[in-house]
Structure 1
Amino acid sequence: MDEAQTPQFFLFKDTIARYALSGISDQQADQEEGSELDEFVSYLASEAWPTVPTAAQDATYDTRDKVPEIDQIALESTSFAFIDSLISYGIIEDADDAYKLFRRILDDYREQACAPPPVWSSTRTTECEICAREVPLTYHHLIPRAVHAKVLKQAWHPESMINSVAWLCRPCHTMVHKVASTEKLAREFYTVELLLGREDIQKWQKYAAKQRHGVRHR
């Protein structure tokens, strides 16, 4: 996957942006167009990212034990263009400050990339995630509990995803379990987006969205 398409790269870029914006004056920020600031941050990220260890580039909660501590990362290979740009933009004064800043950026990035997944109950919505009606909701295990052991044994998904849920009304919940077996749901339709990609779910969605509370699945 191209570096610019990985969630980790975007997280790294956003981390740089926070530090860069805090290091420039309000007047300088006002003078810059939003697109120019974005281009500058994108440039910094693209220059610095190749020097980040591969294990850190691939950092997730599930790989956190493989990600080196930031103090263990040698910064001698840090891009000169990255350092020079920080100095030229007035964000830091010299190379020593640049190394210190880069270490803080890496530390912040590592903490975010390796953060544990959310408590799924906290993702509760007020509308069904399929039909979008505001009705009483149930939670659908996107990876059905009946196949959790097999999922982990076969390494279909990382452990951090095992308890992910979607908040669905009862009719939509019933429909989901009708269109595929528990194993197929676990392997192929383990997100709401993947479920909504099915033609039969799309047809059901259009029907259910027009119904009042109490629609009967058929």
Structure 2
Amino acid sequence: MDANSAQRCMFQDALVRRIMRLGQGSSAASDDSDIDDFASYLADEVFPSLPETLQRATYETREAVPDSDDMGLDNTPVSFTDTLISYGLADDLEGALQLLRKAIGDYVDDACAPPPIWSATRALECEMCERRVPLTYHHLIPRSTHAKALKKGWHPESMLNSVAWLCRPCHTAVHRAASNEDLARNLYTVDLLMEREDLQRWARYASKQRFGVRRG
């Protein structure tokens, strides 16, 4: 998923929360099976009309993001506002735009939130073999590559200290499977690591091993 797609998904989630909060009794918010399609339609209609800086809002670009209260929203599609009105989510155009401003505000809070304190993300199980054993943290973007990753634009600065919690055997397996530069450029999430067949095989093996049992 590229950055813009991720931001659009965050915007849709913010819109869903507003619809659920303001749509009590509305058919648009009463059926869980329909609300995803409804919100996806609304997000597809309005997200491309938002300022580019808003569409690409991140922690790094937060200073350039316009305040939703100051936005005229003159380019908001009529299809978006009419839909909110017809489903009883707004009484009129101004009410529809006010709902949109609130959803934008929620979206900006999410998109521009500071990165987590990675040490606080500690897991109970190894993120590869899923065993409850003593864990280490693996820098998903190895520290030796940080300067190059920034210079080449591989990752934003806020992601440089992201970690995965791995048992020592899995941690070792990762570093034996790829160079630090390959890890930084291509294998910088657990999901990406687990797309490798060799690490899948390793994780299946490790998951069956009892911690602390020495094998002769």
TM-score, normalising length: structure 1:
0.88
Which structure 1 residue ranges, 5 or more long, are not aligned?
Answer: none
Q: 2:138 aligns with which of 137, 140, 151?
A: 140
Counterpart CA distance in 1 for 2:42 and 2:51 is 17
Matches of 2:168 and 2:92, distance apart in 1: 61
For the residues of structure 2 that align with 1:193 and 1:39, how far apart are their CA atoms? Answer: 27
Cα deviation per residue 1:163-208 (whole Å; 9 max; x = unaligned)? 0001011111111111222222212211111211222212211211
**Aligned-pair Cα RMSD in Å:** 2.4
Alignment partner, residue 157 of structure 1: 155
Aligned to 1:11: 10
C-alpha offsets along residues 134-170 of structure 1, whole Å, 9 cap, x if unaligned? 1000111111112222222222211111000010111
1:107 and 2:105 correspond: yes
Q: CA deviation at 1:30?
A: 9.8
Q: Give secondary structure in 1 for the equivalent of 2:107.
A: helix
- Residue aligned with 1:110, SS: helix
Where does residue 22 of structure 1 map in the other structure? 21
Q: What secondary structure does 2:166 align onto?
A: strand
1: CA distance, partners of 2:29 / 2:68? 34
Partner of 2:184: 186
CA–CA separation in structure 2 for the residues paired with 1:191 and 1:23 = 37
Structure-2 change in CA distance of 1:103 and 1:203 (3 Å): same
User: What is the alpha-carbon distance in structure 2 between the residues aligned to residue 199 and residue 40 of structure 1?
Assistant: 38
Query: Aligned equivalents of 1:191 and 1:38: distance in 2?
Result: 27
Superposition deviation, residue 43 in structure 1? 2.1
Aligned partner of 1:122 in structure 2 is 120
Inter-partner Cα distance in structure 1 for 2:141 and 2:148:
11
Asked if 1:59 is matched to 2:50, the reply is no
How far is the alpha carbon of 1:24 from its aligned partner? 2.3
For the 8 Å contact 1:143–1:162, the answer to whether it is kept is yes
1:106 Cα offset (Å): 1.2
| Contact map agreement 2:27 2:87 (CA 8 A) in 1 | no
Moved more, 187-196 or 158-167: 187-196
Matching residue of 2:167? 169
- Count of equivalent residues: 215
Counterpart among 8, 33, 36 of residue 34 in structure 2:
36
Runs of 4+ in 1 over 6 A off after TM superposition: none
Alpha-carbon distance in 2 for matches of 1:202, 1:25:
46
What is the identity percentage for the equivalent residue pairs of Structure 1 and Structure 2? Answer: 54
1:23–1:90 Cα contact (<8 Å) kept: no
Give the aligned residue type for 1:169.
C
Following superposition of structure 1 onto structure 2, how do residues 91-106 of structure 1 map, counting pairs within 5 Å?
91-106=89-104
Q: Aligned partners of 1:138, 1:60: CA distance in 2, in Å?
A: 29
Q: Deviations over 1:71-91 (max 9, x none)?
A: 443311211121112122222
CA-CA distance at 1:31 after TM superposition: 8.9
The whole-number CA distance in structure 1 between the counterparts of 2:48 and 2:188 is: 32
